[in-house]
């Protein structure tokens, strides 16, 4: 196994992390932005107000996307395991 193989595996791992975490992070960002805009327009200065809607949105997104996330991670794991026989020689 060469350095190029290892760097390819690491690059694909980072790409999978971005693909799996991206939708959840984008949803948290959008919910936080909407709550911040509402706080600015209504002059509410409560810092903890964004916590509950963000957590609720993240939990809902995880519930909706869990099947896709596990399928994607399972395919990546199968791909990694298929590389093991080539590492020996």
Cβ count within 10 A of residue 27: 18
Coil, strand or helix at 45: coil
Tell me what pLDDT residue 89 has.
61
pLDDT digits (tens, 9 = 90+) for 7-51: 999 999 999 999 999 999 999 999 999 999 999 999 888 888 889
Give the span between the Cα atoms of 9 and 83, in whole angstroms. 10
Among residues 67, 57, 68, 51, the alpha carbon closest in space to that of 24 is found at: 57
Give the span between the Cα atoms of 63 and 27, in whole angstroms. 13
Domain ranges within the chain, ordered by starting residue: 12-84
Give the span between the Cα atoms of 15 and 44, in whole angstroms. 39
């Amino acid at each position: 196994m060469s350095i190029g193989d290892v760097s390819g595996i690491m690059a694909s791992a980072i790409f999978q992390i971005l693909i799996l975490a991206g939708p959840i992070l984008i949803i948290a960002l959008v919910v936080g932005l909407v709550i911040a805009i509402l706080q600015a327009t209504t002059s509410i200065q409560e810092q903890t107000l964004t916590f509950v809607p963000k957590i609720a949105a993240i939990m809902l997104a995880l519930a909706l996307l869990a099947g896709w996330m596990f399928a994607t991670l399972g395919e990546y794991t199968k791909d990694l395991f298929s590389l093991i026989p080539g590492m020996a020689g």
